[in-house]
Amino acid sequence: MSYFPVLMPVYNRVDLYFERGEGVYLFDDKGDRYLDFVAGVGVTGLGHCHPHVVEALKNQAEKLWTVSNLFKTHSGGRLAQRLVDLTFADTVFFQNSGVEAWECGIKVIRKYFSAINQPERFRMITFKGNFHGRTMTAMAASKTEKMVAGFGPLINGFDLAEFGDIKSVRAAVTDATAAIVVEPIIGEGGFKVPPPGFLRQLRDLCDEKGMLLMFDEIQCGLGRSGKLFAHEWEGVVPDVMCIAKALGNGFPIGACLATAKAAQGMTKGTHGSTYGGNPQATEVANAVLDIITERGFVEDIARKGDIWKKHLESITAEHPTVFSEARGRGLMRGLVCVPPNTTISAALREERLLSVEAGENVIRFLPPLIVTEEQLEEAAACIDRAAKKLEVSA
Ligand SMILES: *Cc1c(COP(=O)(O)O)cnc(C)c1O
């Protein structure tokens, strides 16, 4: 237990040591069981140690670990083909994390405008409250004070607009604007679902101005919202998209997807990754896709999401001094808190329910996608108990 002081204190880690996971449950070193509605922040979509995924990794671990992108594997080729078949995309590049996949998308966009001889168009519009990761580029795209303070100078080329407000987006467009980069549902920023039609308005604006549209579906993608990808709620497709989190169910992998047109600048030697698309990652992701693309799996997420929504709405109605709003979509829902959300997450931990804070004083719930109705009810009972205790102590 003495090793934590030597880790950089950039996280405010909870004093719990987890040793084992099983489906939607986590067990700590004291043997206490927690309902895991963090799921590695939307990562373990299929729950902990899903047998099909474990088997894929075990088999691969005994066969081949890595060969580098200098060679091919059937596993990586198959995964890329499946992602292409499931989406708008023609081409895929694998990375090891979300932000790498996002940054690959940013490079795709910059290179596209260079390839069509408009290198002066390099700026991108991003949204207040966004989160795209922690590299220098992703920080520059967010400009959140807490994230960027002391890390300057920031990479140039990102302009912020108001999420959900097409007028502010139009106002941010200049002759130098290359693209709009957006989370179809804002994750870290507080589980904000855009007003209906907003993604369509972004698509239309991009088409009108010859700009590219990039979606960051790292958190909201792969079933989480009740559709395979959150942008499907509006029937709108991007030119570039990044995914990660649930794709590996905990094994690090991210992917940048693009149309052939958008990716035309990504020629030999323009990008790379040592580990990206190694066969362990791609075999795990193939196993994840086996389950997520099973008939009815995503529809069931939407159905369970509706049940979860009712729970959260009645909790909000019953405890107005603790929660002021239920928001989100599918199994990507949260509550706007009245006391600080850190107070709420601590109170929920006392009830053995794990949750995670988000922007706008929201408490987020990211249950594994395999959660059952009974487990949602169990979680709702935990929130209800925690709220009652907070009301008594207030
Ligand atoms: C988590 C997240 C990222 C960053 O992913 P990492 O794997 O932590 O680099 C980027 N965008 C969104 C929307 C995310 O939720």
Alpha carbon distance 139, 68 (integer Å): 29
CA of 219 relative to ligand 1 center, distance in Å: 7
CA 93–ligand 1 middle distance (angstroms): 16
d(CA 180, CA 69): 30
CA–CA separation, 327 and 299 (whole Å): 19
Whether 1 has a pLDDT exceeding 90, the answer reads no
Task: Give me the pLDDT at residue 393, please.
Answer: 84
Phi, psi dihedrals of residue 334, rounded to the nearest 5°: -155, 180
Note the pLDDT tens digit of each residue in 197-223: 999 999 999 999 999 999 999 999 999
First to last CA, the chain: 34
Q: Can you list the alpha helix ranges (DSSP code H) found in the chain?
A: 39-42, 51-61, 74-86, 98-115, 136-142, 145-148, 166-172, 198-209, 279-292, 297-318, 341-350, 373-393
231 CB under 6 A from ligand 1?
Answer: no
Q: Return d(Cα 293, Cα 144) in angstroms, integer.
A: 36
Q: Is 183 in the pocket of ligand 1 (CB under 6 A)?
A: yes
Whether the per-residue pLDDT at 317 is higher than 90: the answer is yes
Q: Which residues contact 93 (CB under 8 A, 6 or more apart)?
A: 101, 104, 255, 256, 266, 271, 273, 276, 277
| Closest atom of ligand 1 to CA, residue 133 | 4
pLDDT band at 108 (very low <50, low <70, confident <90, very high): very high
User: With contact defined as beta carbons under 8 Å apart, do 296 and 83 qualify?
Assistant: no
Identify the DSSP state of 6: G
| CB distance 96 to ligand 1 below 6 Å | no
pTM of the complete model: 0.98
Ligand 1 pocket member 182 (CB < 6 A) = no
| 302/179 Cα distance (integer angstroms) | 31
- When pLDDT is averaged across residues 22-27 and rounded to a whole number, the result is 98
DSSP character at residue 151: S
Q: Is the CB of 73 under 6 A from ligand 1?
A: no
Distance from the alpha carbon of residue 366 to the mean position of ligand 1, in angstroms: 14
Question: 31: which 2 tokens?
Answer: 């043997």
pLDDT for position 6: 87
Q: How does strand 158-161 pair with strand 123-127? A: parallel
* pLDDT tens profile 130-181: 999 999 999 999 999 888 999 999 999 999 999 999 999 999 999 999 999 9
Helix (H) or strand (E) holding 358: strand 356-358
The pLDDT value recorded for residue 240 is 99
Q: Which residue has the tokens 């040591």?
A: 17
In order of 31, 76, 282, 379, the CA distances from 82 in angstroms are 40, 10, 11, 34
Q: How far is the CA of 100 from the centre of ligand 1 (A)?
A: 9
pLDDT above 80 (res 346): yes
* Cβ pair 7, 19 in contact under 8 A: no
**In Å, how far are 107, 108, 277, 284 from 70, measured between CA atoms?**
21, 20, 11, 21
Going 67 to 40 to 232 to 134, the CA torsion angle's sign is negative
- State the closest ligand 1 atom to the C-alpha of 135, by its place in the atom list counted from 1: 9
Question: Which residue's CA is minimally distant from atom 15 of ligand 1?
Answer: 219
Of the residues 218, 222, 247, 364, which should be mutated to test ligand 1's pocket, given the most ligand atoms within 8 Å of the CB? 218
- Structure tokens given for 68: 């580098």
- Pocket flag, ligand 1, residue 137 (CB < 6 Å): no
Residue-range domains of the chain with CATH: 52-292 (3.40.640.10), 297-365 (3.90.1150.10)
> Is the beta carbon of 359 within 6 A of some atom in ligand 1?
no
Looking at residue 135, the DSSP 8-state letter turns out to be: S
| 321-355 burial code (b ≥16 CB/10 A, e <16) | ebbeebbbbbbbbbbbbbeebeebbebbbebbbbb
Per DSSP, the three-state class of 383 is helix
Q: 71 alpha carbon to ligand 1 midpoint, in Å?
A: 28
Categorize the per-residue pLDDT at 5 as very low, low, confident or very high, splitting at 50, 70 and 90. confident
The tokens of 298 are what?
Answer: 């995503």
Q: What is the pLDDT of residue 278?
A: 97
Give the rounded percent of residues in the chain with a pLDDT score beyond 70: 99
The SS3 call for residue 247 is helix
Q: Tell me if 215 CB under 6 Å of ligand 1.
A: no
